[in-house]
Amino acid sequence: MSIVLESTVEELLRRFARGDRRACGQVISLVEDEAAEAKPILNKLYPLMGRAYRVGVTGPPGAGKSTLVEKLARHLREYDYRVGIVAVDPSSPFSGGAVLGDRVRMAALFTDPGVYIRSMATRGSLGGLARRTREVCDILDAFGCDYILIETVGVGQMELDIAEAADSTVVVLVPESGDSIQALKAGLMEIGEIFCVNKCDREGADRMVLEIQTMLELRPKNDSWIPPVVKTAAISGLGIEELYERISAHRRYLETSSILEERRRRAVRTEIERRLSEKLQSWLWRRDGFKERVEELVEAVMTRRVSPYEAVDLLFKERGFDE
């Protein structure tokens, strides 16, 4: 892992503050690589964060999420909003990096100085998001983006992470997605705040809309927001204006009801807990003899001399932690 000199970091941040896209990319790379300089940089950028509105776009593979995100970004640019796009790609089996399929499909946006696109590899993450997606969104927030569109990899049943990372979650389905019971099993019905039936020019689109609406009637109503169902044909741009209006309506609802503030407060709490857990685990594994002691307890558990619960309790007590 390369070491960046302090003077170089300061210059990098100055370029970042001037809107240098290359500097933004370098900051993101440092965070993705978990470089030693990443934490101090994020600390300095933190006061600039918290303004961007984050929209998660999720759904099964082949639903047309990338095209939809591209057209939505174009529509946002018509209002002169600066847009960040975080496209989470599957990891390359050779390099471990992003396959970059989404960036290829969004190539038409590359020349727009008001759009910043970043592909991220899942690197084994099973939650539909890459490990550092939240931090990358934070960086784009600090970079001055008004909207950040987060497109997940489309892994189906494990995409609930998007609900925590985004302010509004758009679930994209197509007539060929199968019946709504399968969508419910995938967990998508629970997290969706706006449903989008893409490729609505295909047969079965109206039936899919009706099925989604029927399933939403059965969903537990945790608040007064009723998820709308929007029909789109992303390739032609049909329905993009309505989708934007629905996202804007959901944003107004969250802001006026104070739900947005509470969600973000909960997300901050979750982030602190996650980082505390990571730091504690890292600290423990660096202690002398800890790895060896864990192996001893693994053997003890395998031979049924202790249970996994007792093993964890022993590790805590031996390290001086009280219940």
Beta carbons of 140 and 86 less than 8 angstroms apart? yes
Q: In terms of C-beta density within 10 A (0-12 exposed, 13-18 middle, 19 or more buried), how is residue 184 classed?
A: middle
Q: Structure pTM?
A: 0.85
Pairwise CA distance, residues 33 & 97, whole Å: 11
pLDDT of residue 95: 40
User: What is the strand order of the sheet 229-231 is part of?
Assistant: 115-121, 83-89, 147-151, 53-58, 168-173, 194-197, 229-231
Pairwise CA distance, residues 22 & 8, whole Å: 14
pLDDT of residue 176: 79
Maximum CA extent, the chain = 67
pLDDT of residue 323: 58
36-73 exposure pattern, b = at least 16 Cβ within 10 A, e = fewer: ebbeebbeebeeeeeebbbbbbbbbeebbbbbbbbbbb
Where do the domains of the chain lie, and which CATH numbers do they carry? 1-48 (no CATH), 49-256 (3.40.50.300), 267-318 (no CATH)
pLDDT of residue 73: 97
pLDDT of residue 217: 85
Place of tokens 């807990």: 273
Residues 6+ apart with CB under 8 A from 111: none
* pLDDT averaged over 10-residue windows placed end to end, the chain, 323 residues: 65 95 95 90 94 93 90 97 88 42 65 91 52 90 97 62 87 77 63 94 92 84 88 96 98 95 91 89 91 96 95 90 68
H or E stretch covering 230 = strand 229-231
pLDDT of residue 127: 43
Residues 6+ apart with CB under 8 A from 184: 190, 215
Secondary structure (3-state) at 163: helix
Name the residue among 72, 53, 17, 55 with its Cα closest to residue 145: 53
